[in-house]
């Protein structure tokens, strides 16, 4: 990996509830309903459930019932620096449009399952 290379950034879980311009979420999630039933949330269903949870009297309690399973999509990034500890500094194109995020010390993870990590574009 070199400065200027394009990489895929796996978003941190703090971005998991932010949909991109097309309404998709970067993480596949699991929600536990009041009756104990677990539901995997992705795509349109994730948007429907999260929108409904925001209308609850205490939405923060409901959001605690969401578990992040694995990344569904990556964000495009450019390496702007390489560090000695197997991390890189990135300029990340947020999928919300028009925003560049600058992250330092992002782990290089070839498995691409760990939040706030990156891997080489395929």
Asked if residue 49 belongs to a domain, the reply is: yes
Domain boundary among 33, 49, 71: 71
CA-based nearest residue to 92, from 80, 84, 83:
80
Same domain, 59 and 39: yes
pLDDT score of 37: 92
Helix (H/G/I), strand (E/B), else coil: 114: coil
Q: Considering the domain boundaries, does residue 1 fall inside one?
A: no
Claim to verify: residue 116 and residue 85 sit in the same structural domain: yes
60 in the same domain as 103: no
What is the reported pLDDT for 98? 67
Residue 67 lies in a domain: yes
| Residue ending a domain, choose from 55, 71, 87 | 71
Distances (CA, A) of 94 to 15, 19, 26: 10, 10, 11
Q: What is the pLDDT of residue 112?
A: 64
d(CA 22, CA 17): 14
pLDDT tens-digit readout, 32-88: 988 999 999 888 888 888 889 889 898 888 888 888 888 888 888 899 999 988 899
pTM (predicted TM-score): 0.72
Give φ, ψ of 50 to 5 degrees. -65, -40
pLDDT score of 117:
85
Residue 59: which domain range? 15-71
What does the alpha-carbon distance between residue 76 and residue 95 come to, in Å, rounded to a whole number? 8
Q: Tally the domains of the chain.
A: 2
81 with 100, same domain?
yes
């Amino acid at each position: 990996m070199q400065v200027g290379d394009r990489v895929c950034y796996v978003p941190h879980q703090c971005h998991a509830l932010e949909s991109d311009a097309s309404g998709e979420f970067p993480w596949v999630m699991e929600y536990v309903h009041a009756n104990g039933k677990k539901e995997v949330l992705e795509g349109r269903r994730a948007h429907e459930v999260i929108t409904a949870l925001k209308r609850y009297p205490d939405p923060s309690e409901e959001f605690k019932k969401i578990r992040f399973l694995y990344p569904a999509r990556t964000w495009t990034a450019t390496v702007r620096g390489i560090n000695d500890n197997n991390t890189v500094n990135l300029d990340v194109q947020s999928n919300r449009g028009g925003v560049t995020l600058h992250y330092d010390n992002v782990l290089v993870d070839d498995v691409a399952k760990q939040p706030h990590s990156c891997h080489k574009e395929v």
